[in-house]
A and B are shown apart, each in its own frame.
Chain A
Amino acid sequence: MTTHRRLGTAAVLVAALVLGACGRDSGGGEDAAQPVSEGKASGEITVWAMGTEGEKLGAFAQDFMAENPDAKVNVTAVPWDAAHQKIASAIAGKQTPDVSMLGTTWMGEFAKTGALDPTPDGSIEKGAFFPGAWDTTVVDDTSYGVPWYVETRLIYYRKDLAAKAGVTAPTTWDELKSFATAMRDKGGAKWGMNLQPGGTGSWQSFMPFAWSNGGNLTDGDAFTLDSPQVTEALAYYQSFFKDKLSPPTDLSLQGALEQSFINGTLGAFISGPWHVGLLTEQGGAGFKDKFAVAPMPRKQSATSFVGGSNLAVFKDGKNRDGAWKFVSWLSRPEVQIKWYQAVSDLPAVQGAWNDSTLSGDPFLATFGEQLKDAKSPPAIPTWEQVAAVIDGEVEKVAKSNADPAGAAKTMQQRATGIGTGV
């Protein structure tokens, strides 16, 4: 017995030595938002942003520094690859910057560490943002940041193949099915419509169907993954594979998605705004006229997925007030439009979409319209793990013809076992 206790003490000592002595801290949920001081920002503001955003934000912030001459914004660009690991480690080592860009699905986890500062009232107006995007910042009824830019998913389809098949863009679930069939049987495509057949991130492809059918991931603290609505959506999703309308291998995994679409073996797929650029680059001259985007088809609703990135302020940062002033500056509609012009990130602030830069482009206008009905998963700390469960069951439904009701039940059981972690 004594040896055991001594071992235990030694272990805790080692842990303390390595991990550093830290007192208990309140986690998320009990935080109260503190107001931000009046006046201009001052001091150094360190910012982490991923990839292109990180590359361009430094120069973009010149305007902010011109407005706030005493403030200095220092941006570090972080590769997307392993950015999550970098931020998690920084939180553990208390080496966080003042502001960081965060993936929308990371919010629950990082907020719950107690590392994020609750969004202050006043300077930031909740109603200005797309509601689906704002929801990604809300953890246990408290907001921990603001949406920076958004993306949502639409149906990309080949106009020429659709014309050949004698169909127009689908607006309902039934039409989507007959559309995909016609694209294959009359349009000449090998596959009518690509749906992600499981694998990482396929929940983003599946959940819009569940949401459009009135299904939901959670109700309060309980998961509702085995509801009739989710089961029915799974069965609908599965029917595309059963009827050989969708390829059973994941085209996107090996970069074959764009090529199949361009050479006409694939009639349609679901993806976000970045594919407009990818297809235009790879399709060669004139390909931009051969495809179009359409909103998600309607069942009870026509709901899509909203992703993108948020901006959050860290409690362990050194310049909280300056950080929030910078974030609030980035959320101004006119700044959001300029940011779109700089890096093509779609504004998260609804007001920015009235500008002709965005409303004048037929592709973008459709994305803007879809954003009004787009949802995100609840910001819970265990989301990545629950998402992997959904991915796994979607794969079984798509590839090994698993029973949708059984798959929904397994999802529910395993998700409940994991819990929401709030």
Chain B
Amino acid sequence: MRRRDLVARVGLYTVLGAGLLVVVGPFLWAVLSSMKPEAEIRRIPATWWPEVFTLDNYRELLSRLDFPQAFANSAIVAVLTTLGNLAFCSLLGYALAKLRFPGRRALFLVVLGTLMVPSMVTFVPQFVLVSNLGLVNSYGGLILPFLATPFGVFLMRQYLLSIPDELIEAARVDGAGELRIFARIVLPLCGPALATLTILTFLASWNNFLWPLVVATTEDKYTLPVALALYSVGQNRIEYGLVLAGAVAVLLPVVIVFVLLQRHFLRGIATTGLK
């Protein structure tokens, strides 16, 4: 038995380690290459460790862009979008999963259907709408269209379906109001799903490029990906050094959010006292 366990363990680590190498290897190259001069990045065959170590790519980004402003814009938009989604999507997700109300099925189908509409097709109508509402070049225009997303509702509903009804029924029998049940019983059970939704929404908002590019008409409203694209991709040439340095700069906050939240995946029903 012990021997089998050991074999299983060695096998598992080998597979996971190999997987990590395949996934992180290219990524590591990108990080290292962001600290090489342009000519070395483009050289074929490529180098792993920088022959010439330089922070010029980062320095150039910082000096040519209003980095703090773009970072602040991205943070404001991503945080508010995420908070909105957490609130609105968990409310509706709960209602769809656990409450019987007229039109429930239709509402779910409409929301789910919208999730399936290719986003390219709604782009121009959405922009014209935002423009008619006078929201061009405002935080409202950057945030409002993403505040309530079908994706979040679908995620929350599917997760909540797997929470036993008995818990909620018991609280109802005790006379608790629906809002109280939601806040005191349902939400604490949703840790993993809310953590997932936070990461995915934050990431989507943080990386969003086309919408903020079109809605922001002055540079002081540019988000980070938009500002970073300004000088890395030209009419006839791409600056790989700036692309990679920009990618690393954009990535860091998302990785931090992920590391902070990932331990919530560990907490779930197992630790919420459900027997």
A and B touch in the complex (CB under 8 A): yes
A238-292 interface with B by 8 A CB criterion: 255-256, 258-259, 272, 274, 278, 281-282, 284
Given A95-B136, A97-B217, A278-B237, decide whether A20 and B44 contact each other with a Cβ distance below 8 A: no
A51 located at the interface, meaning its Cβ lies under 8 Å from any Cβ of chain B in the complex: yes
8 tightest A-B CB contacts, nearest first: A93-B131, A79-B229, A282-B39, A89-B127, A89-B214, A274-B236, A81-B233, A20-B132
In contact, B231 and A93 (Cβ under 8 angstroms): no
Chain B residues with CB under 8 Å of A294's CB are: none
Which among A18, A55, A256, A258 is the interface contact of B231 at CB below 8 angstroms?
A55
Count of chain A to chain B residue pairs whose CB atoms are closer than 8 Å in the complex: 96
A413 located at the interface, meaning its Cβ lies under 8 Å from any Cβ of chain B in the complex: no
- A76–B215 alpha-carbon span in the complex (Å): 13
- A74–B235 alpha-carbon span in the complex (Å): 22
In contact, B127 and A79 (Cβ under 8 angstroms): no
Which among B128, B214, B218 is the interface contact of A19 at CB below 8 angstroms?
B128
State how many angstroms separate the Cβ of A131 from the closest Cβ of chain B: 22
14 CB < 8 A contacts A-B: A50-B235, A74-B218, A82-B209, A82-B210, A82-B214, A85-B123, A85-B210, A90-B214, A151-B236, A255-B240, A259-B43, A274-B234, A281-B39, A282-B42
Chain B residues with CB under 8 Å of A151's CB are: 236
Interface residues of B (CB under 8 A from A): 38-39, 42-44, 64, 123-125, 127-132, 136, 209-210, 213-214, 217-219, 226, 229-231, 233-238, 240
Chain A residues with CB under 8 Å of B39's CB are: 281-282, 284
State how many angstroms separate the Cβ of A367 from the closest Cβ of chain B: 14
Closest to B226 in A: A79
Chain B residues with CB under 8 Å of A78's CB are: 213, 230
Chain A residues with CB under 8 Å of B209's CB are: 81-82
* Residue count of chain A within 8 Å CB distance of chain B: 39
- A88–B124 alpha-carbon span in the complex (Å): 9
- A55–B66 alpha-carbon span in the complex (Å): 11
State how many angstroms separate the Cβ of B34 from the closest Cβ of chain A: 16
A85-107 interface with B by 8 A CB criterion: 85-86, 88-90, 92-95, 97, 103
- A274–B239 alpha-carbon span in the complex (Å): 13
In contact, A18 and B217 (Cβ under 8 angstroms): no
- A97–B217 alpha-carbon span in the complex (Å): 9
In contact, A80 and B217 (Cβ under 8 angstroms): no
- Other A-B contacts than A85-B123, A93-B132, A278-B237, 4 sampled, CB-CB below 8 A, are A80-B233, A81-B209, A82-B209, A93-B131
A54 located at the interface, meaning its Cβ lies under 8 Å from any Cβ of chain B in the complex: yes
